[in-house]
Amino acid sequence: MKRKKTNNTFSCIIAISLLLLSYGCIDQTDLAVFQKEATVPNFEWTYKYQPSFSFQIKDTSALYDLFITIRHTNRYPYNNLWLLIHSAYQGAKPTEKRVELPLTDETGQWLGAGMDDIYQHRIPIQQNAKFDSMGTYHITLEQNMRINPLPNVMAVGLRVEKTTP
């Protein structure tokens, strides 16, 4: 009888350990509320091509970080990217903001992660943003460089994350 109790205790400890171990393996670092990329046709971003992204905000008490994602080839001819970011929400006046996204450091080295001749950037455009209303928000990206079309841009996107305390 005493031996059975020891086996049950041992089994219980093993079960709890496995449960805690499996909980620890869950990726808790992915705080993305939304992430989507749009492929740029022929890797030439024209003024007319304006990818649009819509995402839901359900928690108005949280703060959010917004990022633009850019994927380009090593042949992209500039060290930055100028964008017009159009945002809209039902019942609110649409807004437009011009931003410069740095793609290289002062020595000309790409800032993003690279593999072969392709580079991926995730650049913050707004940190600790507060959304006052629940609902669907719309963001449209428009390239605002002096050249049209803008060569060697493969994809652009938007990522929205909850801010960690």
Q: Whole-prediction pTM value?
A: 0.78
CA 61 to CA 57: how far, in whole Å? 10
Indicate whether 20 belongs to any domain.
no
What does the pLDDT read at residue 7? 53
Asked, for residue 131, whether it belongs to a domain, the answer is yes
- Tell me, what's the pLDDT at 92? 86
Question: CA–CA separation, 18 vs 106, rounded Å?
Answer: 49
Residue from 81, 92, 91 nearest 143 by CA: 81
CB–CB of 73/152 below 8 Å? yes
**Where in the sequence is the domain holding 112, given as residue range(s)?**
31-162
Q: How many domains does the chain have?
A: 1
Does residue 1 fall inside a structural domain? Answer: no
Whether residue 24 lies inside any domain: the answer is: no
**Residue 126 lies inside a defined structural domain of this protein:** yes
**Within a domain: residue 8?**
no
In a domain, 13, yes or no: no
By the 10 Å C-beta count (0-12 exposed, 13-18 middle, 19+ buried), 148 is classed as exposed
Distance of alpha carbon 49 from alpha carbon 37, whole angstroms: 14
Looking at residue 8, its pLDDT comes to 56
**Is residue 6 in a domain?**
no
Which CATH number covers residue 135? 2.60.120
Residue 10's SS3 state is: helix
Print pLDDT tens along the chain (165 aa).
444 555 555 554 444 444 444 444 444 456 789 999 999 999 999 999 999 999 999 999 999 999 999 999 999 999 999 999 999 998 889 999 999 999 999 999 999 998 989 999 999 999 999 999 999 999 999 999 999 999 999 999 999 999 976
